[in-house]
Amino acid sequence: MEKKIGEVTHFFAGPSAAVLKLTTKLNLGQQIHIVGFTTDLTEKVTSMQINHMNVESGNPGDDVAILVKDRVRQGDEVFLVEEGAMAEAPMAPGPAAPRPMAPSPMAKPAALKPAAKKPRPKPAKAKKPKAKPKAKKPKAKKAKAKKPKAKAAKRRKTKR
């Protein structure tokens, strides 16, 4: 048996953590079931934080961050799995039976949704003829000032 205890308000992919808005109390070690349009995840609460502080339990109205092993989405519902229900009806191996879902108030009926747009091919751009490169003018070499050789000769004589 499952009891709704809140819903997912945020998901962080880096640490794979979900933020839950609780409507009832949740403790560490309890089994939860997160259900959404594309989500169906059951796991044990192993880590819980409120405002980046580790806590043992969360109360109604708290925004609690928990670690999850798979992606969850904003608006997914969170249920508390009661221990007695797990012992009475163990889950069979294999894919779970699909749960009937109530339509979201934000979801539009398929008839009202706009048709998906097909990507249009980009028109080919007309190529412009390349301009001929300008001829480079040879640069005039600047004449270097020549040093008189006499001074170099004097230096050699004085060093000896």
Domains along the chain?
2-88 (2.40.30.10)
pLDDT digits (tens, 9 = 90+) for 70-108: 999 999 999 988 876 444 444 544 455 555 555 555 555
Confidence of residue 9 (pLDDT cuts 50, 70, 90): very high
Mean local confidence (pLDDT), 21-43? 90
Measured distance CA(143)–CA(140) in Å, rounded: 9
CA torsion angle 43 20 40 37 (round to 10): 180
The pLDDT of residue 147: 59
Mean local confidence (pLDDT), 136-152? 63
Confidence of residue 15 (pLDDT cuts 50, 70, 90): confident
Measured distance CA(113)–CA(22) in Å, rounded: 32
Q: Which residue has the tokens 């519902």?
A: 77
What SS3 state is found at 11?
strand
Whether residue 66 contacts residue 82, with contact meaning beta carbons closer than 8 Å, is answered with no
Q: Kindly tell me if the per-residue pLDDT of 140 is higher than 60.
A: yes
Identify the burial level of 20 via C-beta atoms within 10 angstroms of its C-beta, where 0-12 means exposed, 13-18 middle and 19 or more buried.
Answer: buried
